[in-house]
Amino acid sequence: MHAVTFDFGQTLAALDADLTAARLAERSLSFDPKRIEVALPDAWRVYDDAIHRGLGGHPWKIFMRALLERAAASPLDEEALVGAVDFLWSEQPRKNLWRRPIPGMLELAEDLSDAGVPVGIISNSEGRLAELVAELGWDDRFLVLADSGRLGMDKPDRAIFAWTAGRLGRSLDRIVHIGDSLAADVEGALGAGMRAVWFGGDPKRALGERARVAKDASEVRRALVEFGVAAASERVPTRASPRPGSRSRST
């Protein structure tokens, strides 16, 4: 049987633009949430480029700087820009900005888990992914949470994928990883020997037989079925209330 892993940010949960604007207002900086949303694709391209250039597996500040530069209604001076990025980074452990569920993705994780497919998260995060997932009430869906901030290894390095595979009880070639970052998620997973689904990626990009591109949760399901994960083919009714308790997991 296959296992499936998800990236967290921009795959299971999107950046909350309203919350981001509210946090920036605490620094007396006015940002329109709609401008933040529009700026996100360019900021993620900067993030991927940073990884390709070897600037770190989790270049969070590079991403956030690019986002604020593009979302600002007028140019910020360097002191204000650096101060805003540092403030948001320091506040991440207390109130993570990535918390808006992406339609259909958590339901997919639930369906896979309910069908007995081992499901995990592999995230380049700040070390408090388990706490965030628990705060959101999602912790009973995932057997393994691989948080780069706790493990000391980042995507796209093979080590974090191999660590997760060992705890899911599957060989790397029996795992499909789903993520939005071409560099960290897709190229990382393929390099580790896994299959990959590029969530929200460029459908014109040639990725080879072991990868697919999906624009939404429905297309992710179809990609998983093509990879042999039959449990992804149908949506079962969403449970009315959270499961009592949560299963043991590794972080």
Cβ neighbours around 60 below 10 Å, total: 19
pLDDT-above-70 percentage for the chain: 91
Q: Which strand (E) or helix (H) includes residue 14?
A: strand 13-15
Last residue of a domain, one of 63, 96, 129: 96
Last residue of a domain, one of 96, 112, 138: 96
Residues 6+ apart with CB under 8 A from 223: 176, 197, 212, 214
Last residue of a domain, one of 96, 117, 137: 96
The distance between the two most distant Cα atoms of the chain, rounded to a whole number of Å, is: 54
User: pTM for the whole thing?
Assistant: 0.87
Same domain, 66 and 182: no
Which pLDDT value is given to residue 54? Answer: 79
Q: What is the mean pLDDT of residues 49-77?
A: 88
3-class DSSP string for 82-139: HHHHHHHHHHCCCCCCEEEECCCHHHHHHHHHHCCCCEEEEECCCCCHHHHHHHCCCC
Q: pLDDT: is 232 or 226 the higher one?
A: 226
Same domain, 175 and 136: yes
Which pLDDT value is given to residue 245? Answer: 40
The pLDDT-based confidence of 147 (bands split at 50, 70, 90) is very high
In this structure, are residues 250 and 144 in contact, taking their beta carbons and an 8 Å threshold? yes
pLDDT above 70 (res 56)? no
Which pLDDT value is given to residue 235? Answer: 59
Which pLDDT value is given to residue 234? Answer: 61
Range of the domain at 109: 3-12+101-232
| In-domain check, residue 213 | yes
Same domain, 197 and 221: yes
